[in-house]
Amino acid sequence: MSANSPLSTKKPRLVVVGNGMVGHHFVEQIIEKGGHENFHITVFGEEPHLAYDRVHLSEYFTGKGAADLAMTDGTLYDDNGVQYFTNSLVTEIDRDNKQLLLQSGDSVSYDKLVLATGSYPFVPPIPGHKRDNTFVYRTLEDLDDIRDCAKQVSKGTVVGGGLLGLEAANALKNLGLETSVVEFAPRLMPVQLDEKGGSVLKEMIEGLDVTVYTDTATQEIVDGESSFHRMNFADGTHLETDLILFSAGIRPQDALAKQSGLEMGERGGITINNNCQTSDENVYAIGECALWNNSIYGLVAPGYTMAKAAAGHLLGDESISFTGADMSTKLKLLGCDVGSIGDAHAKSQGCKVFVYQDEIQQSYRKMVVSEDGQKLLGAVLVGDNSFYDTLLQYYLNAMDLPEQPQSLILPAMDGAPAALGADALPATASICSCHNVTKQDISDAVANGAMSVGDVKGITKAATGCGGCAALLKNVVDNELLSLGVEVSTDICEHFAFTRQDLYNIIKIEEIKSFAELLEKHGKGHGCEICKPAVGSILASVWNEYVLKKEHIVLQDTNDRFLGNMQKDGTYSIVPRIPGGEITPEKLIVLGEVAKEYKLYTKITGGQRIDLFGATLPQLPEIWTKLVNAGFETGQAYGKSLRTVKSCVGSTWCRFGVDDSMTMAVDLENRYKGLRSPHKIKFAVSGCTRECAEAQSKDIGVIATEGGWNLYVCGNGGMKPRHGDLFATDLDRETLIKYIDRVLMFYTKTADRLQRTSVWMDGLEGGLEYLQEVVIEDKLGMCSELDAAMDYVVDTFQCEWKTTLEDPEALKTFRQFVNYDGEDENVVFVEERDQIRPATEEEKQNLIAKVG
């Protein structure tokens, strides 16, 4: 191989062993600092792939391919003269001769050596652990094997209930297996959680149909009776399962160090100093194989810092060193929020503890504070990570706790919100731990002209690792912009110094149920025609209460207050829902009869339904009584909500149809009909690519394909037409609905007042790709929240007209006059093409003249 052949270069040779996340980051760092000019760099990796994103490995099961996870396709290496070899295991280091030996038999000399060999999964030596259908969870190949096996079997078990074990359990569940977790310790995630936290988590996970065995030791694995394996436990019980996945911890991959006599820790790991040098000054170790101050760091962020430190040191820059790292973690396991900060187990001398537990919402929070109550030493969160960012900043920056520290873990009550404002953070506060970006770095970027979160991301790389810091980053950037006097006024109106999105979050998090309550806590004055309907709409999106409930009535614009669209003369139009445009002759006749009885102007709308115009205020309840009795529901033509789902006839009738667009349209319309949103939403479903329903011009467009359904999002007709973006292809029905749920809820949560999805998408940082990440890959970890929010809206649907007709108080407001039974004499109709229409001013004058 060519690595072996002497090269015509006088540059010293730098060899990197291991091309995982940290080894790759090291190469990036060296190149960024120009080190490829100083060294001839060679990289050896044992795996068949170049470095890939192991942190997001599980996404390999949820739609990402190896190419998506890849951290480089080799271009960076090629362009900068870095030689790399995959499938190349280094088996020996000969430190005396500065030579490496490869499994292939080749040898390579080095001047400087970097070991980035990571770790390997520990498999407890239980008799039977090498049987077929047993796996570990570390590499793409492991996942390929697991997937192949899962296709054949029905039950899977994970040995180990730690962080990785639960992630693996989630994967097994997603592969359709009946899943169990067996943990030796008395609780789940013993490292990060205390006893109570572990037991709350256990309950939540069991609620998701994963069986959890804690305090359970596996003695042997033998042939099963009903399944492939039988696991015999120490207490005499057993479990039958087809597939076993070991996730009982990781061990540093330090075989080369041992072989070559480098100094090591008692329990493994290659000892390093602050420059990441091992006991041999020419050999560095970084990442999970390295042992610093007797600690191994099993997270990627500390590894990146080590990579930076080692690269700096090699190039004579000692300003960066590795001096330990914080191991706080926040994650979502099987959809459950878990967070652990610092001294989670309250082991510090004299420390005091605050605990909050809510057995109804299933959440548990603990704060460990110093003896004097001044500093936060640690925390445990299960069930709700919205408290994490603030706690972490108090902890990392050793900030003085507020007077009532417990407010940091209590559900928001009256008074100031406990969350820490960005301006309260010190300049040294670490905002993004993956890329080691401090608040100061962000201030600098903004001072140098970065004007948005996107700009700052580009410059500092903040929020481009695990993404966990995205919300905090936005706060800090906004705060910096503000302090520079850049007007980011996104205030909704003079009464609320918030954006619609802020208000949405406040209403949701503080469980605010009325406009008055919101105004009292967060607004000023008495509200106006901007904030009232906006808040009315948010309250409806979040709590889905009856819009004409007493306290909401004054928030509704005329159309929403009277559940009809006001026309130019003060009369209303009536639009019953006709899902998908499909209507029986009987119902068509009812519409005709009602229109005839009340002499209403009748028209087919552009949205495939029927509009009846010219009803006066007192006629609305009468007419709707007839319609509701005939089985109609409100079409919400007045609301900022789902309008119509247009459809073509589809495969049922059409000779080209590939799927049943009609059923899909009706189902979608019925699912989303209750959703109140920032602006109106329109759907269409076409049965094939001929696209007769014009789905690509709708907020949500669905087109049947041979392989399922294609989903288009954020199209618009109207004033500024926009074609929808192709969001995902060949979806099955369930996934389609899941994605639509999330797109709509994310839109409802984050869009501005009266912003259609098209405009929202155009303003969305990261655009379509970002939306895909949020919805498909759960980048923000909020999918379960979105799912739950939509389920709630769907489950609590009520036809507003039906509710109104049952409410005498609400009906009272449909009187034309409170003290007089007559009609509005200014409402005058004339006939045209055999139907009524409002008279013009001139016609009115003439008519009055005639009568008078």
Partner 1 sequence: MTMQWKLVCKQSDLVKGAGVAAMVNGQQVALFYVPEAESQIFAISNWDPFGKANVLSRGLVAHLQGEWTVASPLYKQHFVLSSGKCLEDDVTIPSWQAKLEGENVYIAES
**Number of residues engaging ligand SRM in binding (CB under 6 A):** 19
Cα separation of 527 and 496, whole Å?
A: 8
Which of partner 1, ligand FAD, ligand SRM, none lies near 553, with the C-beta cut-off 5 to 8 A by kind?
A: partner 1
- Kindly tell me the sign of the dihedral angle through the C-alpha atoms of 748, 752, 756, 758: negative
Question: Taking the complex as a whole, how short is the minimal distance between the CB of residue 240 and ligand FAD, in angstroms?
Answer: 26
Nearest-CA neighbor of 326 among 381, 251, 396, 377? Answer: 396
Residue 433 lies near ligand FES (rule: CB under 6 A): yes
Q: Looking at residue 548, what DSSP letter applies?
A: T
Q: Give whichever of 463 and 745 is closer to ligand FES, judged by the CB atom.
A: 463
Q: From the CB of 246, what's the least distance to ligand FAD, in Å?
A: 12
- 723 is an interface residue for ligand SRM by CB under 6 A: no
The three-state DSSP-derived secondary structure of 761-786 is HHHCCCHHHHHHHHHHCCCCCCHHHH
Task: Quote the CA–CA distance of 552 and 541 in Å, as a whole number.
Answer: 13
Best CA proximity match to 483, nearest among 435, 425, 433: 425
Q: Is 611 in the site for ligand SRM (CB under 6 A)?
A: yes
Q: Which partner from the list partner 1, ligand FAD, ligand FES, none does 469 bind, CB cut-off 5 to 8 Å by kind?
A: ligand FES
- If one asks whether residue 381 binds ligand FES (CB under 6 A), the answer comes out as no
Q: Smallest distance from the beta carbon of 837 to partner 1, in angstroms? A: 15
Give the separation between CA 716 and CA 737, rounded to whole angstroms: 20
17 binds, among ligand FES, ligand FAD, partner 1, none (CB under 5 to 8 A by kind): ligand FAD
Q: How far is the CB of 639 from ligand SRM (least distance, A)?
A: 10
CB contact at 8 A, 153 and 243? yes
Task: Give which of 789, 814, 785 is closest to 801, Cα–Cα.
Answer: 814
Query: Which CA distances in Å does 707 have to 703, 704, 727, 732?
Result: 11, 8, 15, 8
Partner whose footprint covers residue 573, from partner 1, ligand SRM, ligand FAD, none (CB < 5 to 8 Å by kind) = ligand SRM
Judged by CB, which is closer to partner 1: 222, or 754?
754
Taking the complex as a whole, the smallest distance from the CB of residue 787 to ligand FAD amounts, in Å, to: 21
CA distance 257 to 268: 10
Asked whether the beta carbons of 250 and 298 are under 8 A apart, the reply is: yes
Cα–Cα distance for residue pair 801/548, rounded to 1 Å: 10
What distance in Å separates the CA atoms of residue 306 and residue 131, rounded to the nearest whole number? 38
Restricted to residues 461-490, the positions that interact with ligand FAD (CB under 6 A) are 466
Q: Does 702 bind ligand SRM (CB under 6 A)?
A: no
Closest to ligand FAD by CB, 299 or 450: 299
Please state, in angstroms and rounded to a whole number, the distance separating the CA atoms of residues 730 and 471: 32
What radius of gyration, in Å, describes the C-alpha atoms of the chain? Answer: 32
Residue 716 contact partner, candidates ligand SRM, ligand FAD, ligand FES, none, CB within 5 to 8 A by sort of partner: ligand SRM
Alpha-carbon dihedral sign for residues 158, 164, 169, 171: negative
300 binds ligand FAD (CB under 6 A): yes
CB-CB contact of 246 with 231 (8 Å): no
Which does residue 243 bind out of partner 1, ligand FES, ligand FAD, none, counting CB within 5 to 8 angstroms by kind? none
Q: Which does 533 bind (CB under 5 to 8 A by kind): ligand FES, ligand SRM, partner 1, none?
A: partner 1
Determine, following the binding rule CB under 6 A, whether residue 253 of this chain makes contact with ligand FAD: yes
Side-by-side strand order, sheet with 134-135: 134-135, 243-246, 155-159, 178-182, 211-213
Q: Do 701 and 712 contact (CB within 8 A), yes or no? A: yes
Shortest distance in whole angstroms from residue 823 CB to ligand SRM: 20
Contact between 344 and 201 (Cβ < 8 Å): no
Q: 368 with 353: CB under 8 angstroms? A: yes
Sites of contact with partner 1 (CB under 8 A): 494-495, 525-530, 532-533, 550, 553-554, 556-559, 561-562, 566, 568-570, 812-813, 815-820, 822, 824, 826, 841
∠ CA 467-472-476, nearest 5°, is 130
Q: CB-wise, 74 or 458, nearer to ligand FES?
A: 458
Residue 186 main-chain phi, psi, to 5 deg = -70, -5
Q: From 707, 710, 773, 775, select the one nearest 741 (Cα to Cα).
A: 775
The binder of 643, among ligand SRM, ligand FAD, partner 1, none, by C-beta within 5 to 8 A per type, is ligand SRM
Report the residue number whose CB is nearest to ligand SRM: 718
Stretch that binds ligand FES, among 12-20, 81-89, 315-323, 457-465 (CB under 6 A): 457-465
Least Cβ distance, residue 345 to ligand FES (angstroms)? 24
Q: Kindly write out the interface string for residues 624-663 of this chain, putting x where it contacts ligand SRM by CB under 6 A and - elsewhere.
A: -------------x-----xx-------------------
Is 18 a binding residue for ligand FAD by CB under 6 A? The answer is yes
What is the secondary structure of 114-182 as a DSSP string? EE---EEE-----TTTTSTTEE--SSHHHHHHHHHHHHH-SEEEEE--SHHHHHHHHHHHHTT-EEEEE
Complex with ligand FES: residue 430 or 641, whichever CB lies closer: 430
- Site residues (CB under 6 A) for ligand FAD, limited to 67-106: 89-90
Contact 355, 366 (CB under 8 A): yes
Among 756, 805, 810, 839, binds ligand SRM (CB under 6 A): 756
Q: Does 21 bind ligand FAD (CB under 6 A)?
A: yes
CB 427, min distance to ligand FES, A? 17
> Which of 466, 539, 714, 740 forms a contact with ligand FES (CB under 6 A)?
466
Residue 584 binding result from ligand FES, partner 1, ligand FAD, none, given CB thresholds of 5 to 8 Å by partner type: none
Candidate list 108, 181, 200, 256; residue touching ligand FAD; CB under 6 A: 256
335 binds, among ligand SRM, ligand FES, partner 1, none (CB under 5 to 8 A by kind): none
Q: Is residue 166 within the footprint of ligand FAD (CB under 6 A)?
A: no
Pick the closest to residue 15 from 49, 48, 51, 39 (CA basis).
39
Q: Mask of contacts with ligand SRM, 588-607, x by CB under 6 A?
A: ---------------x-xxx
Site for ligand FAD (CB under 6 A): which residue of 3, 22, 542, 594? 22
Asked if residue 520 lies in contact with residue 526, where contact means CB atoms within 8 angstroms, the answer is: no
Q: Give the torsion sign (CA, 375, 381, 387, 393).
A: positive
Q: Which of 23, 161, 467, 581 binds ligand FES (CB under 6 A)?
A: 467
- Say how far residue 581 (Cα) sits from the centre of its chain: 34
Q: Name the site residues for ligand SRM (rule: CB under 6 A).
A: 565, 567, 573, 575, 603, 605-607, 609, 611, 637, 643-644, 682, 716-719, 756
Q: Name the site residues for ligand FAD (rule: CB under 6 A).
A: 17-23, 44-47, 54-55, 57-58, 89-90, 116-119, 137-138, 164, 167, 253, 256, 287-288, 298-301, 303, 331, 466
